[in-house]
Amino acid sequence: MPYRQFEEYNIQVTDEVKSKFKAIISDLGEDVNREGILKTPERAAKAMQFLTQGYDQDAAAILKGAMFAESYDDMVIVKNIELYSLCEHHMLPFFGKAHIAYIPNGHIVGLSKLPRIVDVFARRLQVQERLTHDILECINNTLKPQGVAVVIEASHMCMMMRGVQKQNSTTTTSGFRGQFEKIETRTEFLRLISADLSN
């Protein structure tokens, strides 16, 4: 049986965005009736809905759906979480990795939920600074841990493809709450996300 991909999109939104993309492509000087471009407005409309699906998702509800009572009270780290987002200034991609840690306070959360909430906030028009803050505050306010830390390292196509055109630049943002505001806890976290534990 051949591979089939099933995706659902709001037909009205798809049609409206499609017509706008068609106009933009035409205004830029391309022939919208050319074979290779003919279906591009619709594909672009669907792609944008996929890349901004986070507006329709509730990160706090995702966390609440997988919280478990547990007495463990040491640091939990999920690092190297891939993220892909769109810069709200130029609507060009930025991408990289998020590192998240928390210290439980009576409850832990299913580990897969931390990457899920990264995706929820990344799948919106974003700036890296707010993305870091959104993830941090969602975990802090929902899980209510003893502490939470988030570090994001990303490359921005708006700097690499246009503007200053610095292909090797990366941006790092961080946020800390609770126990991670203490230098010794923060230092341990930063050491662990930098370490190659496979050796």
- Catalytic residue list: 87-90, 128, 156, 158
CA distance linking residue 135 with residue 117, whole number of Å: 7
171 — phi, psi (to 5°)? -120, 135
CA distance linking residue 155 with residue 50, whole number of Å: 21
Handedness of CA 37, 38, 41, 45 (dihedral sign): negative
Q: Could you tell me which of 156, 154, 62 has the C-alpha nearest to residue 109?
A: 62
Q: State the first-to-last Cα distance of the chain, in angstroms, to the nearest integer.
A: 43
Could you please report the per-residue DSSP string of 66-106?
A: TEEE----S-EEEEEEEEEEEETTT--EEEEEEEEEEE-SS
Do residues 127 and 156 touch, judged by C-beta distance below 8 A? no
Which residue type, as a one-letter code, is found at position 51?
Answer: L
